[in-house]
A and B are shown apart, each in its own frame.
Chain A
């Protein structure tokens, strides 16, 4: 790691684990008797505990959102572009909390944890998680950290869905809600992609109906395939064209000297898939995609997002990206329109970006400017 990278970031961070022995009632009707949440914090909690910001992660994210775990780390946390000193979520001002959600595979209780009742890994018997369950577990973590009210809850994609859920589940405990590249619910196309990803995992012979840990196996081919499918939906057509085009990594398409060609994009996807399958749990991937599928903010409000947001008391910033086709600008405008109709304060910007859904992770100048400008108001006008 270059030393400049370290100084531009929050620096070395150390995860912590909070254990909760009070059972958590889940939306599915079951309960988790006890559980652990792994989390990181960046910045300093002020005296009146009013500068706390919760960052919610997306499908394959985790608690390590910013900084480095050691001086040898090559890559910082997944949202280091946005969290750190002088960055949009400025750690000189805010106390940032980032956790790995329940059902995750990076240290919070999840399918690969031991089921206390059986002494074996939960596997696919781990209860399905809803965004609401995460929000309730995050609420308990906030209590543990002495945070009565978040200055802001922030998330992109599935993280944005958690932020929205916070705004109506605990309306008096969140002042600002920042929703980036998200949607009120998944479209049929979104559901379809998630189903293909799950089928890829479940049809891997080493999946063993989710109990692969008992067989000391890993369905890595299925998980890699699931990730490849997902990855295509995170990028735009343009982004893939610019990055790979039809470039060949090996072989030839020249008539007469034809040798089996491998396109750059093939090799890139395989690399992404295999890297991911080495660091992520298949049951967690299934659980996370289901949580996405089941999310529907307005369902319990007569399918009326205006009624849902009628519960909220906070201000909102919504952002979308022009080439995002997984959660397109239209989906964000549905959020904005519901907020307008519900009479909630809302700002909205549609960022021109070539990078598709992944843009929310990237330091696009206009995105950073608006994010920073909005965050400066967080904690100031209240």
Chain B
């Protein structure tokens, strides 16, 4: 399973209700169901992912987050997960607000644009960063709202969102200390548990 997803599992309580925004092929919800008896539902727009999730026995609704999440009632889930999708939505701030309207807690993971490699590429080469982690070129990327660790935390402060926990995925497993100490520079993926 993707590293950010293995990191966030521990934040999800046994038997809780989870809404996974951009659930992909449903592997995460399947793991949660098997290991934590979680009752989950996923949102997805990718057709092949939807079929794959249904084949796993995961409930998935074909719905585009950019069209809003009005159909999910207030506080109807324990946790709403948005894993590596914040940067691809049209209105990240509104999605965050919706997550915390629908769920008691939210879990957000996103690629940290403040990573030193991105800075180096933009700063020295003057080119938009392309890496194995962010493989798209600027004109064909689905990621339309890149942000850094600091940007995200500033937004949370502005919106009155409380950060309960922060976790990071570093470039390699050998340098967790660096990315924990200076996440904005060394985290490739930033991970947050948030609430209102």
Contact = CB atoms under 8 A, between A and B. Distances in A.
A370 B71 contact: no
A349 B59 contact: no
Contact of B54 (A336, A337, A341, A373): A373
Contact of A347 (B39, B61, B71, B72): B61
**Secondary structure type dominating chain B contacts:** mixed
A337 B71 contact: yes
B41 A346 contact: yes
Interface in A318-351: 333, 336-337, 340-341, 343, 345-350
A377 interface: yes
A173 B39 CA distance: 22
A380 interface: yes
A249 to B, nearest CB: 38
A345 B71 contact: no
A216 interface: no
A376 B56 CA distance: 9
A333 B61 CA distance: 10
A243 interface: no
A374 interface: yes
B57 A377 contact: yes
Contacts of A345: 39, 41, 59
Contacts of A333: 71
A213 interface: no
B51 A381 contact: no
Interface in A260-290: none
A348 B71 contact: no
Find the residue from B59, B63, B71, B73 having the highest chain A CB count within 10 A.
B59
A164 B41 CA distance: 20
B69 to A, nearest CB: 10
Report the contact-size class of chain A (Cβ under 8 Å from the partner): 20 to 34
A50 interface: no
Given A369-B51, A373-B51, A381 B57 contact: yes
A75 interface: no
A274 B62 CA distance: 40
B31 interface: no
B60 interface: yes
Given A336-B61, A346-B61, A366-B47, A341 B41 contact: no
B99 interface: no
Contact of A315 (B55, B59, B63): B59
A380 B61 CA distance: 21
Contact of A350 (B62, B71, B72): B62
Contacts of B9: none
A343 B76 contact: yes
B75 to A, nearest CB: 12
Contacts of A370: 50-51, 54
B51 A347 contact: no
A377 B61 CA distance: 16
A304 to B, nearest CB: 13
A178 B60 CA distance: 14
Nearest to B72: A340
A373 B55 contact: yes
A29 to B, nearest CB: 37
Interface string A356-382: 000000000010011001101100110
A374 B41 contact: no
Interface of B: 39, 41, 47, 50-51, 54-55, 57, 59-63, 71-73, 76
Interface of A: 315, 317, 333, 336-337, 340-341, 343, 345-350, 366, 369-370, 373-374, 376-377, 380-381
17 contacts: A340-B41, A340-B72, A340-B73, A341-B71, A341-B72, A341-B73, A341-B76, A345-B59, A347-B54, A347-B60, A348-B60, A348-B61, A348-B63, A349-B50, A349-B54, A349-B62, A376-B55
Q: What 3 pairs across the A-B complex have the smallest Cβ distances?
A: A373-B55, A337-B71, A373-B54
Given A348-B62, A373-B55, 13 more contacts: A333-B71, A336-B61, A343-B76, A345-B39, A345-B59, A348-B63, A349-B54, A349-B62, A350-B62, A366-B51, A370-B51, A377-B54, A380-B57
